[in-house]
Homo-oligomer: A and B are copies of this chain.
Amino acid sequence: MSKSDRTGGNAVPLNIQEPTLLLDRRKAIRNIAKMAGKAQKSGVRFRPHFKTHRSARVGEWFRDFGVEAITVSSVDMAIYFARHGWTDITIAFPVNVLQIHKINDLAREIELGLLVESPEVVHFLSKNLAFKANVWIKIDVGYGRTGIPWDRAAAVEALAREVERTGNLGLRGLLTHAGHSYQTTSKEEIRAIHEDSIFRLRQARDALKQGGFPPVELSTGDTPTCSIVGDFSAVDEIRPGNFVFYDLKQLRLGSCSEEEIAVAVACPIVAKHPERNELVLYGGAVHLSKESLAMADGTRVFGRVSFLERDGWGPMLPDTYVSSLSQEHGIVRTTADVVDRVRIGDILIVLPVHSCLLAYLLKEYHTLDGTILPSESSVCAPTSQARC
């Protein structure tokens, strides 16, 4: 098996030996350009969620499109991006009071946005936050995960009053994540969720206005909605994240085309089972996560499969998918034709069900032109730095 045999004569300067996270930079930049253009056309702030890529280097690509404000999902991720020059960061996760020291460090250095939904957390911040921060009241527009339900006007108003009474918190606006858009089966349903969300956010804002509050901002933005809806002028900012890479879940929802999926995992073939048209990949749950998609017949799919090609990866192979994952093994169900065509030591490409977990699991990106981009997760565990 010569090297060119193993990679199908691929000219991409990659030396893949183990499961490797590939990033097609051109696709990602096109995805960013498209979403930034949409935000600009709608006249809203584009505050992309950086939890998907978790990479300072990928983050830089957004600056070319005028992005100055970002969203993250943890205090540690905020610290990471603040260290890399981002000065306006919203942590789109309920305040974790146990991390108040880190939150104070951030609030001293940057324009920090925090999410609140309960009087006790506002009270805690009023006593323990040593610097000014913006707060967004988290509104539940129907997802049912976190936030004050949109129609509890009294609770929203009471929390806003609580914020007003503090000396260190400024009420920036109302924020929602319409995560139920992920449970839809048609673009129409996604559009309907968007309409509802906007209506509900505005109702909550109107209630505040009637309570004597000045108008506050509205922030929204899951990837399905932001990809499918064209106009966002009803809100002040959008915060999609996944769109930078997309994945099979988004493809199924109709948020993206196959050609827009910008990341994939390259996996070596380690065994062939022609008798049952299966291949065994080095690439398991620790590389791909256990995220799966349910097919109409109940089959679970942990990834779709394609060949490595000269300039990236080819189209998804028909009747070919990752059918199960162990810790390190991935089993590919495929056709006799594919089994015939590949050899042990060849690389197969797995398109991910959910791209947001890949950066965390695989720690670094290999772009198709041979650059390695570290993610936040390639940094050592906090307490282990001395051991590196």
Q: Which residues of A contact B (CB under 8 A)?
A: 1, 6, 16-18, 51, 73-76, 93-99, 102, 117-118, 120-121, 124, 144-146, 179, 268, 270-273, 276, 280, 282, 285-286, 289-291, 324, 326-329, 331, 343-345, 356-357, 360-361, 363-364, 372, 374, 377-381, 383-385, 387-388
Contact = CB atoms under 8 A, between A and B. Distances in A.
A328 B271 contact: no
Top 6 A-B pairs, shortest CB-CB distance: A388-B388, A363-B381, A94-B270, A378-B384, A378-B381, A97-B345
Contacts of A118: 271-272, 344
A289 B285 CA distance: 9
Contacts of A290: 289-291
A1 B125 CA distance: 12
A273 B138 CA distance: 13
A98 B345 contact: yes
B344 A364 contact: no
A18 B380 CA distance: 16
Copies per complex of this chain: 2
Given A364-B381, A388-B385, A98 B327 contact: no
B380 A388 contact: yes
A328 B93 contact: yes
A329 B146 contact: yes
Contacts of A268: 96-98
Count chain B CB atoms within 10 A of each CB in A95, A276, A345 and give the residue with the most: A345
Contacts of A270: 93-97
A376 to B, nearest CB: 11
A271 B18 CA distance: 40
A156 B182 CA distance: 48
